[in-house]
Amino acid sequence: MDVQRFMQLISGERKGPVAALLRGALWVLSVPWAAVTAGRNFAFDRGWKRVHRVDVPVIAVGNLTTGGTGKTPVVAFIVRQLQSLGHTPGIVSRGYGADASGENDEKRVLRQLCPDVPHEQNPDRVFASKRLIEQGVDVIVLDDAFQHRRLYRDLNIVLIDATCAFGFGHQLPRGLLRESVTGLRRADVVLMTRADRAPDQLASIRQTVEHHSPSLAEDCHEVSFQPTDLQTTDGRRLSVDELPDMAVTLMTAIGNPTAFVATCQQLGLDVVAKRFFPDHHLYTSDNIAQVLQLADEHNTPHVLTTLKDLVKLPAEETRFLAVLIETVFAIEAARESVRQQLTVALARHAARC
């Protein structure tokens, strides 16, 4: 089953007895998942599982759901904020979906967004953090690590995609939740990403967040990802106005492909064809040829994708262009609040040492 059909199934968009039966089977499979995640969290809460500390502050960026909530641009934002505060941050991630070189798409994107910032990819985040500290890093930013509780963190930033806030209300595989929504109790800051795409959902999201963690009432902020310009496979920047034809084909392999479609439409582009692949998919020459054939069938000279996808494509594939985005807070006070939270977390760590 492809990504689109699976999302239609778990969201309830697909109707009929067969779809209902499949959702029932997925719900049964979600029961052991929920039991394991609840047991694991209980063990950490009780101190039965060891939490390791390192010698520098740790800032974690993560989410409750699987798929794309916008972690990569937010990680880049946090790194830049730490740099502006005079620190030397390093990034630690698991490295899921790495290719033969040992790197995945997110690391390549962050290398472009945060040049010269060291980045270690390793399922053992404790070991990776210690390696970065040996390189002179004085603060660790954990990418996609809200559920990785083995490493102590001084600040937990949780992203909630406003367009699909709580994974259709079920844990994997019936829904998209990695753990129960009660996990919000561990969060210090919540960022409601893509808030501009679902303004009517924000009040409900805030209500749920505050129900599980009343202390987050003042630390739940609205964020959007605004498209800026385009990038070619060889690194050149273009304005969207330079496209010879505003009709485009889309290709992406991210957790929330519908959000990318909306971003392109926000630019005024006419999306006439699209092809989605599973998150972190490594493109083959056949994949590229199929997408280009799709573009030819619809008379679109360019295929638009995300930067996360573009970094996996050969430089000679000049018909592919990435839509670049930047993290924008709904109000400046929210940005300053997050910056203040970072400052407090760093000071709190220093006071313990």
How large is the angle between the packed helices 3-11 and 257-266, nearest 10 degrees? Answer: 100
The alpha carbons of the chain give a radius of gyration, in whole angstroms, of 20
SS3 call for 149: coil
CATH number at residue 241: 3.40.50
Cα atoms in the 13 Å half-sphere on the side-chain side of 65: 23
Cα atoms in the 13 Å half-sphere on the side-chain side of 323: 27
Same domain as 341, residue 202: yes
Owning domain of residue 240: 226-326
Residue with structure tokens 């009343």? 214
User: Model pTM?
Assistant: 0.91
Same domain as 65, residue 21: no
Same domain as 310, residue 198: no
Q: At a CB cut-off of 8 Å and minimum separation 6, what does 342 contact?
A: 59, 78, 81, 82, 85, 155
Same domain as 242, residue 105: no
Q: Which two tokens stand for residue 175?
A: 């829904």
Q: Which two tokens stand for residue 218?
A: 């003042």
Q: Which two tokens stand for residue 170?
A: 């079920």
Same domain as 170, residue 114: yes
Domains in the chain: how many in total? 3
162 within a domain of the structure (yes/no): yes
Residue with structure tokens 């630390």? 219
Same domain as 209, residue 116: yes
Please return the burial class of 165, using the count of CB atoms within 10 Å of its CB with bins 0-12, 13-18 and 19+. Answer: buried
Please return the burial class of 176, using the count of CB atoms within 10 Å of its CB with bins 0-12, 13-18 and 19+. Answer: buried
Length of the chain: 353
Q: What's CA 312's distance to the chain center, in Å?
A: 17
50 within a domain of the structure (yes/no): no
Tell me the torsion sign for CA atoms 70, 71, 77, 78.
Answer: positive
| Sequential pLDDT tens for the chain (353 residues) | 667 788 889 999 999 999 999 999 999 999 999 999 999 999 999 999 999 999 999 999 999 998 778 899 999 999 999 999 999 999 999 988 777 777 888 899 999 999 999 999 999 999 999 999 999 999 999 999 999 999 999 999 999 999 999 999 999 999 999 999 999 999 999 999 999 999 999 999 999 999 999 999 999 999 999 888 999 999 889 887 777 668 899 999 988 888 899 889 888 889 999 999 988 889 999 999 999 999 999 999 999 999 999 999 999 999 999 999 999 999 999 999 999 999 999 999 999 87
Same domain as 106, residue 29: no
Q: How far apart are CA 206 and CA 334, in angstroms?
A: 15
Same domain as 345, residue 308: no
Q: How far apart are CA 247 and CA 303, in angstroms?
A: 10
